[in-house]
Each structure stands twice: as structure tokens, then as C-alpha cells.
Amino acid sequence: KSDEKYTLVAWRGDGGKPAEALIRTPLKELLAQLDPQQFQQVHRAVVVNLHAIRDVTRGLNETAEIQLKQRSERLPVSRTFLHLFKAE
């Protein structure tokens, strides 16, 4: 999750325990360093590991929310990135 010049990075650490850190790298810079086959931007301020998604819930006005495995918060998917989760 992005917050101006900082990015909150969340991951599962040793033993699968959730961990997070605030780094001083803009999301756009971080995204350029990540594998696009595994990480995808889903909102102007959110990038997710595609392997960590539990489910995607469609919302109103062509939006959606992502529920990640082993995390309680729901992350927004904006209209711009909704095509990534279209049902086939």
C-alpha cells in the first residue's frame, strides 16, 4: 500500500506469521522491481502478490475488493485494473 513517498509492505515471515514494514520507496519504483507474473497493481495505491489472493468480490460501479490469505483487511481494486479479474 502506498502513502506518498512511503510504501507499506506486508508479507508472511518465518513460520507463516504476518509481518510488515514501512519503506521509503514509492510504489511506482517498487513495482518496477517486482516480477509482473507474480505481482500486479490493482489500485493506484495497492500492489498484490497474485498467489496471496483468497478471493475477489465485485462491487458497485465496476470496482472490486480483494481478500488476501491470512490477512484481515480488504484491498480495493479500481475500475482501471478490474479487467484482471473478469470472469471467463
pTM, rounded to two decimals: 0.83
Q: What is the pLDDT of residue 87?
A: 61
Mean pLDDT, residues 1-14 taken together: 84
| Continuous segment of H or E residues that includes residue 2 | strand 2-3
pLDDT, tens digit, 9 for 90 and up, residues 32-87: 999 999 999 999 999 999 999 999 998 877 889 999 988 888 999 998 998 888 76
User: At which residue does the C-alpha cell 504476518 appear?
Assistant: 18
66 is written with which cell numbers? 480483494
44 is written with which cell numbers? 493506484
How many CA atoms are closer than 13 Å to the CA of 35, on its beta-carbon side? 5
**Does residue 88 surpass a pLDDT of 60?**
no
Range of the domain at 68: 2-85
